[in-house]
Structure formats: C-alpha cells, structure tokens
Amino acid sequence: MYCKYRMKPTINDIARIAGVSKKTVSRVINDSPLLTGETRDKVKAVIEQLGYVPNPQARALALGHNFLIGLVHDNPNAQMILNMQQGILEGLRGTEFAMVVQPVNRSSPSLVEDMREFIVRQRLYGIVILPPISENDAVAKMCVEAGCRYVRMGSAVLDESKHMVASNDRDAVKEAVRYLIQQGHKRIAIVTGPQGFRSATERLAGFEDAMTEAGMKLPRSHRAEGEYTFDSGLVATEQLLDLSPRPTAIFASNDEMAAAVLYAARLRGIAVPDELSIVGFDDTPIASRIWPPLTTVRWPIVAMGRSAAHKLIAGAVEEIDLEDEPTEFLSNLIRRGSVAPPKP
C-alpha cells in the first residue's frame, strides 16, 4: 500500500513517492514560482495519480484560518436566502472553500457579539452579510477587528467595492412606477417597507423619483407602511383601499406584501388588474403562482451571491480577479398580468 491504513494520502505520501520533501509538495500545491518545471510535473503526476487532496483542517491550523465562508442572515425571505446560497456556492465551486450558514436575530442586543462568536469560533475566512444586517456599520467594524473579510449585500452601495454587492433598488422602482404612469395611472399608492430597512428607503425614493419626474405628487395618504410581511401588507392595503377616490394602482415594496394587496382586493371584490393594478418587488415564486400573475422587479440574487463569494476569496484563489467582479447589479421589470391601464 502506498499509504498507511488505506486512508486518504497525505502530503507525506506524496513527498515520499515523488522522492521530494514535504515542502516541495507544499510548494506545488500553493503554486510557488520557485520550482523547476520538471519537479513540479513529477509531483503533480503523483498527486493526480493518488487523487491527493490537501486536508483543509491542517491547512486551517497552519494558516490560522479556516476555508469556510459564512453566510449570516435574518429576515428569512426563503427564496432570497436560498438563491444567495446557490450563488455563493457557485462562486466557491472548484475551490477548497465551503459555506456555513448562520441565521441571527437582528434585533438582539447581542447581535454583534453573536456574529463575532460565530466568526471566531469557526475561524471564518470571510462572511457574506445579507440585509438588513448588512446595513449595520458596527457589524462591518467588528469583522475588521475579528480579522475576517466581509462582503455586504444591499440595495445601495454602502461600502467600498471589495466589501459590497449591491442592487439599485431606487432606479428599479423608478422604472416600475414609470411604467404604471405610462399606462395612464394618476392615483398611485405605495406600501413601503419598514423603517430602518435601507431597501425600504431606496424603494420609496425610487417611487418618488418617478412621480416627481412626471410632475405628480405623492400625498401622505397614498403611503402606507408595511413590514415586508403578508399580514402587515394586508393592514396597509386596507388603509389604501379605504381612500376615496381609490388609488388605481399600488406598488408594494416586496412580493409578499403585493400578494397581500391582491388578497385584500379580492376580499373586497375589487378586480385586478381592471380596477386595481399591482406591482411587487423580488420576483419570488409566489409572484408567478398567484392570479393574476404579478408584475414585479427581479434582481439578480444568484449573480450577486457568486460575486460576493469571489470577492471574498479572490486573494486565495489565483483564477479569481477582484477587478472582474461587479459591485452594482441591474434589476429588471417583469411584466405580467397584474397591471393594466385604469378603467375610467
């Protein structure tokens, strides 16, 4: 047997069989530039032949960090988180990195300490932080202190390029509302997200941009605050549908609340889209499953996840160049059946 106990081969096995020292093998693994092409080829052949894979735990110990990327989130929009996971894993594919997931409670007073604990315990190489936690600068500061790379995901650029993947919610919503205006809507209302969410602010700003551009005003009454949940959307919608004259279109700041707008309209016998047009945000699966299917904003979460992962590991993986990774990502409006011109 070429190595003890039929276990996975170690660096020692490779060194012995290739007739070189451990360190030489280590140099091959780490693509050191100081090697003869000949030596390199010889060692690589043995590595290939034995199917040798370096032990990440040993490397972790020697290097002082693990080959783990953390994903920290709260606010489970299930599909968003799963898409993000998919994107990160795509970004990590082919490397020795793995992804560990950690949900946290954003309103816990120990949030920052909980995250530090997570980072330090697992000696994470880097973490991806999802909104709304990503908007917390104290968290970013803690990451630096803890010696952990980080990338924040957000609805606007909040940090240096290497620490950020961002959508542009403001422009995306502006385009969506512009579309409603083009359809002839005059009384357009918004269900906003909760205060303290940057995405809520951005989306509202985009809404106002479009209105201003068209010389229209957003009366305070046409603005109802939700909390990104279905139930809060229901409550906010009631408020808007009580108005007289009623809005002919409602932009809801996420799909969950847009589904609530639709639900509330149905409860009152208001026809969608004939009597009320609805636009959502996220393009979650629910948007295309309900009737009528929802016009909504789709943002490239998977691509953002992939890029976030790349930004984190660019320093460790030769093939990845930080310069190639975008910081801002474009959303686009998905037009479906929930919007129509207002009936006079």
Partner DNA sequence: TTGTAAGCGTTATCAT
Partner DNA sequence: ATGATAACGCTTACAA
- The footprint of DNA (CB under 7 A) covers 7, 10-12, 19-24, 26-27, 29-30, 32, 34-36, 38-40, 54-55, 58-59, 61-64
Nearer to a copy of itself, 29 or 101 (CB): 101
Q: If DSSP codes are grouped into helix, strand and coil, which group holds residue 339?
A: coil
Residue range at the interface with a copy of itself (CB under 8 A); choices 183-191, 240-248, 281-289, 326-334 = 281-289
Residue number with CB closer to a copy of itself (146 or 157)? 146
Q: Which does 102 bind (CB under 5 to 8 A by kind): a copy of itself, DNA, none?
A: a copy of itself
- Integer Cα distance of 144 and 157 in angstroms: 18
Between 5 and 269, CB nearer to DNA: 5
Give min distance, CB of 110 to DNA, in A.
23
The full length of the chain comes to: 344
Q: Output 189 or 260, the one with its CB closest to a copy of itself.
A: 260
Contact letters (x/-) for a copy of itself, 25-54, by CB under 8 A? ----------------------------x-
SS3 12: helix
Q: Retrieve residue 219's tokens.
A: 């009366």
Nearer to DNA, 3 or 216 (CB): 3
Nearer to a copy of itself, 19 or 285 (CB): 285
In the sheet with 277-282, reading across from the earlier edge strand, the strands are 223-225, 188-192, 249-252, 277-282, 295-298, 332-334
204 or 236, CB closer to a copy of itself?
A: 236
Under rule CB under 8 A, residue 289 binds a copy of itself = yes
Query: Applying CB under 8 A, what is the total number of residues that bind a copy of itself?
Result: 43
Which residue, 42 or 187, is less far from DNA as judged by CB? 42
Residue 217 CB partners (closer than 8 Å, separation 6+): 211
158 contacts: CB under 8 Å, gap ≥ 6: 134, 135, 152, 164, 166, 198
By CB under 8 A, residue 82 contacts a copy of itself: yes
Question: Is 315 one of the binding residues for a copy of itself (CB under 8 A)?
Answer: no
Token readout for 180 is: 């409603």
Nearer to DNA, 35 or 146 (CB): 35
Residue 280 identity (one-letter amino acid): G
Q: What is the DSSP string of 263-315?
A: HHHHHTT--TTTT-EEEEEE--HHHHHSSSPPEEEE--HHHHHHHHHHHHHTT
Picked from DNA, a copy of itself, none, the partner binding residue 330 (CB below 5 to 8 A depending on kind) is none
Contacts of 253 (CB under 8 A, 6+ apart): 190, 191, 192, 193, 199, 200, 203, 204, 226, 228, 281
The verdict on 93 binding a copy of itself (CB under 8 A) reads: no
Q: Which of 122, 161, 239, 327 binds a copy of itself (CB under 8 A)?
A: 122
Q: Taking the C-alpha atoms of 10, 16, 21 and 23 in order, what is their torsion angle to the nearest 10 degrees?
A: -10
User: Tokens 């479009």 correspond to what residue?
Assistant: 210
Chain centroid to Cα 5, Å, comes to: 44
Please report how close the Cβ of residue 114 comes to a copy of itself at its closest, in angstroms: 11
Q: Is 58 in the site for a copy of itself (CB under 8 A)?
A: yes
Q: How far is 128 from 150, CA to CA, in rounded Å?
A: 6
Binding of a copy of itself by 329 (CB under 8 A): no
Q: Which does 68 bind (CB under 5 to 8 A by kind): DNA, a copy of itself, none?
A: a copy of itself
The span from the CA of 49 to the CA of 13, in Å, is 12
Q: Does 188 bind a copy of itself (CB under 8 A)?
A: no
DSSP 247: P
Question: Which residues of the chain form contacts with a copy of itself (CB under 8 A)?
Answer: 8, 53, 55-58, 60-61, 66, 68, 75-76, 78-79, 81-82, 85-86, 89, 96, 98-103, 120-123, 230, 256, 259-260, 262-263, 266, 285-286, 288-291
